[in-house]
Amino acid sequence: MQTHIMSTPEAAEYYFKEGCHILELSNSVADPTVSIARARVVSGVTTQWHYLIDTTERYVILQGQGDVELANTQRQTVQAGDVVIIPPFCWQRISNTGVQDLIFLAICSPRFLAENYVSA
């Protein structure tokens, strides 16, 4: 892998079937050990239950507030500055309980692959 700086335009954001908007910041075969995406959940929306096969995911909450649900644990409130660590095969979803967009980084290792995404 070579040193470089990546820049992703806002216009590259897309709606993902899970119920959130995604901006892929880094997800490449050139860096297979990690991917970074910015996720945006609009007010009042709860994403679909899903898990990732063989992939650990971390949510780094940047803006807003919400509730995260993981497998059989109780719903927990998250806000800017919180980090949620989600192991492989762990059912998960997040709800935006605030009035502004809930924005977080989704950091996956190894990198996110669509074929590893399983929804309920």
Shortest CA distance to 31 belongs to which of 93, 119, 107?
107
Half-sphere exposure of 52 (CA within 13 A, CB side): 20
Q: Per-residue pLDDT for the chain (120 aa), expressed as one digit of tens each?
A: 678 898 999 999 999 999 999 999 999 999 999 999 999 999 999 999 999 999 999 999 999 999 999 998 899 999 999 999 999 999 999 999 999 999 999 999 999 999 999 998
Asked whether residue 7 is assigned to any structural domain, the reply reads no
Asked whether residue 56 is assigned to any structural domain, the reply reads yes
Report how many domains make up the chain. 1
Asked whether residue 62 is assigned to any structural domain, the reply reads yes
Asked whether residue 30 is assigned to any structural domain, the reply reads yes
Amino acid at 31: D
Asked whether residue 2 is assigned to any structural domain, the reply reads no
Q: Which H, E and C letters describe 80-92, residue by residue?
A: CCCEEEECCCCCE
**Which residues constitute the domain of residue 72?**
14-119
Asked whether residue 85 is assigned to any structural domain, the reply reads yes
Give the CATH number, domain containing residue 110.
Answer: 2.60.120.10
Q: Give the pTM.
A: 0.94
